[in-house]
Amino acid sequence: MAIVFDGTRESYVEGLSEFLNSGQKDAPEWVTTLRREAISGFAKLGFPTLSDEEWRFTNLEALRRGSFSIAENGISGVSKKSVDSYGFSGLDCLRLVFVNGRFASSLSDTKDAGEGILVKSLSEAISEQSDLVKGHLARYADYEKDAFISLNTSYFEDGVFVYVPDGTVLEKPVHVLHVSTDEDRPLFINPRNLIVIGQSSVAKVIEHYVSASQSVYFSNVVTEVVCGENANLEHYRLEFESQKAFNFSTLRVNQQKNSNIASHSILCGGAIVRNNVHPVLAGEGCNSDIYGLFISEGRQHMDNFMRVEHASPHCDSRQFYNGVLDGRSKGVFHGRILVHEGAEKTDAKQTNRNLLLSDTAQIDTKPQLEIYNDDVKCTHGATIGQMDEEALFYLRSRGISMRQAKIIMLRAFTGETLEHMSIDPVREVLEGVVMKWFEKRLQNGKGR
C-alpha cells in the first residue's frame, strides 16, 4: 500500500515507520537512526509559516493542503532517448539518472571516472562505502533547524555520491539528471546528494531537475558539499521542474581552507520554488562565487534564499543574482550575509538585479547583513526595473527591430550571470532555453 501524506505534520511524522518497513529494511542501523532523529526534528518544526522571518514572502498553504505519496513504481516510463534529449550536446560527461528519486542504472554511465574517484548512487555508497558516507552525510545540512532538510533526511531514497580523493582531478563533469514522471498520485520525491572533494582536488557537478510531465509533485532536494583544503568545485543547479510542481532545494557547502566554489542556480520551472544556497566558509582564505538566474511567468513563485556564512578570516564571497519576471509571477531574493566574530578581513559582495516584464509581476528583495566583526567589507545592491526604454530606442534607431532589440537586452541581462559558467555546452544550452522562453513571451505580445 502506498504511503500517503495528507499534508498534516502528523502524517509526515507517522509515515516514517511504514517507509522504514517497506523499502528500507536492509539499510544500515546508522541510517535508520538518522532518519528517526530527523523526523523528530520535523515533528518539532512542522512546515514554516508566513510568520517565520525566513518565510515571510512564501506562502506554503498549498503545500500543506496537498496530498503526496512515495513513488511505488520503478524507473519504467523513461527511455534512453528522452534522457538523451536532456543532455548537453558536445559535453563529454559522466551521467547518473534518477527517476522519481530512484537510481536508473541502465540509463546512467559512470565509467572512467578516474583512479580512486567514486561517482555512484548514494544508496549504493551507503552499503558499499558505509563509513565514508557516514562521516559526512547529514553532518552539514541541519535537520533540527530546517523542516525541509528534516523531511529529506527522513525520506530520501537516492541521489548522487561523488567522492574525489586528495590531489585528484575529476576530468569529466558529472551530469546528475533527476526526472519526474506522470504518476497516479502526486509524488513526494527527496533527492539527496553528497559531494566530497578532497584536498587540492577539482570537480564539476551539474544537478539537473526535469519533468517528463506537467503534473503536481513535491520535490525536496538536499545537497551537501564538502570542499577540502585548496579544492575547487563548480556546482550547477538547473531547475526545470513541471510548472505545477513544488520544488524546495538546499545546497549546503562546507568550505575548508583556501577552497573555491562557484555555484550556479538556474530556476525556471515549478509553481512554488525555494532555493537555499548556504555555503559556510569555514577555513581561511576561501572564495565563494554564487550566481543565480531565475525566470518566472504565469503565477510562478520563486524564492531565492542565500545564506553566506563567513566563519574564518580572509574569505571572499560574491553573489550575483538576476531575475526576469513576467505575468503575475513573484520573486523573492533574500540575501543574508553572516560574518562571525573571528572572520576578519571578510570581503562580501551581493548584487541582485530584477527585470519586470509585466505590471503584475512582483519582486521582494531583501539584503540582510549580520556582522559580528569590525574589520570587514560588505556591500550589497539591488535594482528592480523595466527594460531600459532609452536603450531600446537607441537600438531601434540603428535599424534593429523592436523584437530583436528586446531579445538583445534580455540576452545581455541574463548573460550577466550565465557568462560565468565554465562549461560551455551547458551555458549554450541554457542560453538557448532562455532565448526560447523570451521568444515565447514576446510572441504573446507581452514583455515590454
Give the footprint of other proteins on this chain (CB under 8 A): 388, 390-391, 393-402, 404-405, 408-409, 411-413, 415-416
Find the shortest distance in angstroms from Cβ 91 to other proteins: 25
Q: C-alpha dihedral over 399, 404, 406, 409, to 10 degrees? A: -90
Residues 6 or more apart in contact with residue 265 via CB below 8 angstroms: 236, 237, 239, 251, 275, 277, 290, 291, 292, 293, 294, 304
Find the shortest distance in angstroms from Cβ 404 to other proteins: 7
Closest to other proteins by CB, 334 vs 427, is: 427
147 pairs with which residues across the strands? Answer: none
Find the shortest distance in angstroms from Cβ 435 to other proteins: 15
Find the shortest distance in angstroms from Cβ 443 to other proteins: 18
Closest to other proteins by CB, 51 vs 397, is: 397
Q: Return d(Cα 427, Cα 24) in angstroms, integer.
A: 39
Residues 6 or more apart in contact with residue 421 via CB below 8 angstroms: 236, 264, 291, 427, 430
CA-to-CA separations, 214 to 62, 240, 272, 376, in angstroms, rounded: 17, 11, 14, 47
Closest to other proteins by CB, 374 vs 390, is: 390
Query: Which residue is listed with cell 539518472?
Result: 97
Find the shortest distance in angstroms from Cβ 295 to other proteins: 16
Closest to other proteins by CB, 115 vs 445, is: 445
Closest to other proteins by CB, 2 vs 391, is: 391
Nearest to 124 by CA among 109, 142, 102, 140: 102
Find the shortest distance in angstroms from Cβ 394 to other proteins: 4
- 205 by Cβ neighbours in 10 Å (0-12 / 13-18 / 19+) ranks as buried
- 76 by Cβ neighbours in 10 Å (0-12 / 13-18 / 19+) ranks as exposed
Q: Where are the beta strands (DSSP E) in 297-386?
A: 301-310, 316-325, 330-339, 346-356, 362-371, 376-385
Closest to other proteins by CB, 313 vs 447, is: 447
Q: Return d(Cα 400, Cα 410) in angstroms, integer.
A: 14
Q: Where are the beta strands (DSSP E) in 169-245?
A: 174-180, 187-189, 192-197, 202-211, 217-227, 232-240
Closest to other proteins by CB, 169 vs 391, is: 391
Closest to other proteins by CB, 111 vs 398, is: 398
Find the shortest distance in angstroms from Cβ 446 to other proteins: 18
Closest to other proteins by CB, 6 vs 388, is: 388
> Is the CB of residue 154 less than 8 Å from the CB of residue 16?
yes
Query: Which residue is listed with cell 532562455?
Result: 434
Find the shortest distance in angstroms from Cβ 419 to other proteins: 9
Find the shortest distance in angstroms from Cβ 387 to other proteins: 11
Closest to other proteins by CB, 214 vs 404, is: 404
CA-to-CA separations, 98 to 161, 270, 344, in angstroms, rounded: 12, 18, 43
Residue 355, C-alpha cell as written in the block: 527585470
Find the shortest distance in angstroms from Cβ 206 to other proteins: 24
